[in-house]
Amino acid sequence: MEIREYRKATRCDHRGRLRRCAGSLIGQCQYCARGFCGRHGNILEDGQEICVEPRCERLRDDVAAHLVFKSEARVRNQEHRCGEDGCPQEHTMRCDRCGCRFCEDHLRQVIMTVTRGGEVQSEAAAICDHCRARLPLWAEE
């Protein structure tokens, strides 16, 4: 996967069927880095800037659901239980993605492609079922 160069937006980057939007720039999407006007994006109360592209909206929804999952898993971890809802086993290992702790049944060893210092590398990681299910969405480009 190629890393796109970040550029400060100067106009709304939304494209219609025939031409580009002429709306005034109000923000720059935190997921795709495209500029947007008031019709093609929103600045949320907490300062997040998100355009109306379906993928960016899916990423926003995924982050919100992930934060709820992590909060609930941490409560279970404080009771020395696996972070997976409904699992009565004690936690034994930490997920390398979310940092929550899980039993061996709910962690998987996977090989992940990561970029460090501009170099693409493969490395082994222990990740929970929840984080593993999120990988395809975040791998889309």
Of 5-14, 73-82, 100-109, 119-128, the one with minimum mean pLDDT is 5-14
Residues 40 and 83 both lie in one domain: no
86-95: burial string, b at 16+ Cβ within 10 Å, e else: eeeeebeebb
Residues 58 and 122 both lie in one domain: yes
Residues spanned by the domain of 118: 54-139
Residues 6+ apart with CB under 8 A from 7: 33
Say what the pLDDT of residue 114 is.
80
Closest C-alpha to 1, from 97, 110, 109, 112: 112
| Within-domain flag for 68 | yes
Q: DSSP for 40-58, please give it.
A: SEEE-TTS-EEES-HHHHH
Output the pTM of the full model.
Answer: 0.80
**Is the per-residue pLDDT at 113 higher than 90?**
no
Q: Within 13 Å of residue 118, how many CA atoms lie on the same side as its CB?
A: 1
Residues 36 and 74 both lie in one domain: no
Average pLDDT over residues 71-80: 97
Residues 19 and 74 both lie in one domain: no
Average pLDDT over residues 101-121: 89
Residues 33 and 58 both lie in one domain: no
Say what the pLDDT of residue 10 is.
81
The residue among 63 and 7 whose pLDDT is bigger is 63
pLDDT averaged over every residue in the chain:
90
